[in-house]
Homo-oligomer: A and B are copies of this chain.
Amino acid sequence: MRPKKRTTIYDIAAKLNITASSVSRALNNSNHVNEDTKKLILKTAAELNYKRNVLASNLRKGENKTIGVVVPRINQNFFSNVISGIEETTYSKNFNLIICQSNESHEKEIKCVNALINQHVDCIIISVAAEGTDYTHLQNVIDHNIQLIQFDRVVDELETLKVINDNELATLEGITHLIEQGYKRIALLEGPQNLNIFRQRKAGYLKALRKHKMPVIDELIVENAWTKELGAEGTRKLLSLPEPPDAIFASTSDFSALGVLEVATSMGFKVPDELGILGYANEPFTELTSPSISTIDQFTNYMGKTIANLYFQESENKDSVVVPRTISVKPKLIVRASTSRTQQV
């Protein structure tokens, strides 16, 4: 499929016996062109099926109007919703979106970021992979004067714009809700602690217990229960304890909570009466299980819009320095059957 040459402004200029300058000006609606010739140029451009070569234009103008997004997985509800929100905003500003997924691989994340730097994108929006600990590739973004915005899984040490959920506060509210429902021994399924979000959720859990003067029981805290399978495995251990918990907070995700539910049901624990279950993320399926699972909604689409707006807002005051700051979106506790002891299901 050898591409035939596409019409350029020179083709239009040649046809009308004028110079490319005028054509360019006409196409950019400059007022330094005669109205009649402008009309003529636009007409001919349409006839010749002309499309501006954005590469050339951007090269000359030194801009790009492109934003790169790097997420662990495109096909994960949380991320695809955030991306959708970002897209709605960037589209309205005529920006392009280049999307990459790191597949939770630190190595691929680095490659993606470097590819985006090569592309001279105006901004890189990233939620880091679970794997890494070294973030020179992100520092590199900053060094290239590309606006860097981190969201959700952010690297605290890097001074960038950040959009996060207030994981700690949301967790605090969630656990408080559990306590109010009368649960006494609340277990925690935690995620990899190198990710800030999981650290914050753990902090919220501990804070809630402290606030209500409840003891922190080590054997009720299960490390790395990220997936449905790991959540199920952790639950099996927890429920086999001499003194099993009466509630489990699957801080990693709703998938993990689903694992909890399945194991609990198969082991004969009644949810929510004998075991309360709280998930995280408000995946669509959480209202479909029986009983439905209480969880925490993160306003994903809104987050996406917030992130994109943050960039545009920032890029408008060109002269001043970017002040690193964090926008914290407060997630919302969604109470469903799995933790509603008072109103039995």
With A2-B318, A118-B52, A288-B288: A80-B75 Cβ-Cβ less than 8 Å: yes
Do B80 and A144 touch across chains, with their CB atoms under 8 A apart?
no
Among the 9-residue stretches A81-89, A182-190, A230-238, A337-345, the one with 4 or more Cβ atoms under 8 Å from chain B is: A81-89
- Would you mind naming 10 contact pairs between A and B with Cβ atoms under 8 Å apart? A1-B322, A2-B319, A49-B144, A51-B144, A53-B59, A54-B120, A55-B64, A84-B101, A94-B115, A284-B285
State whether the Cβ of A3 lies closer than 8 Å to any Cβ in chain B.
yes
State the copy count for this chain. Answer: 2
Question: Which residues does chain B contribute within 8 Å of A289, judged by CB atoms?
Answer: 288-289
A residues in contact (CB < 8 Å) with B:
1-4, 6, 49, 51-56, 58-59, 62, 64, 73-77, 80-81, 83-84, 87, 91, 94, 96-101, 108, 112, 114-115, 117-120, 140, 143-145, 147, 258, 284-285, 288-290, 301, 314-315, 318-319, 321-322
Which chain B residues border A101 with CB–CB below 8 Å?
Answer: 84, 87
Pick from B6, B59, B143, B322: contact of A55, CB below 8 A.
B59
A1-B318, A75-B83 are contacts. A119–B96 as well, Cβ < 8 Å?
yes
Within the complex, the shortest CB–CB distance from A98 to chain B, in Å, comes to: 5
Which of A4, A74, A119, A319 has the most B CB atoms < 10 Å from its CB?
A74
Give the chain B neighbours of A6 by CB distance below 8 A. 120, 144-145
Query: How many angstroms between the C-alpha atoms of A112 and B83 in the bound complex?
Result: 16
Neighbouring B residues of A52 by C-beta, 8 Å? 118
- Whether the pair B288, A117 counts as a contact (CB closer than 8 A) is no
Chain B nearest CB from A126 CB (Å) reads 15
Kindly report which residue of chain B lies nearest to residue A119, judged by CB atoms: B54
CB of A87 within 8 A of CB of B58, answer: no
The answer on a CB contact under 8 Å between A74 and B64 is no
Most chain B CB neighbours (cut-off 10 Å) among A4, A80, A319: A80
* Structural contact, B75 and A81, CB atoms closer than 8 A: yes
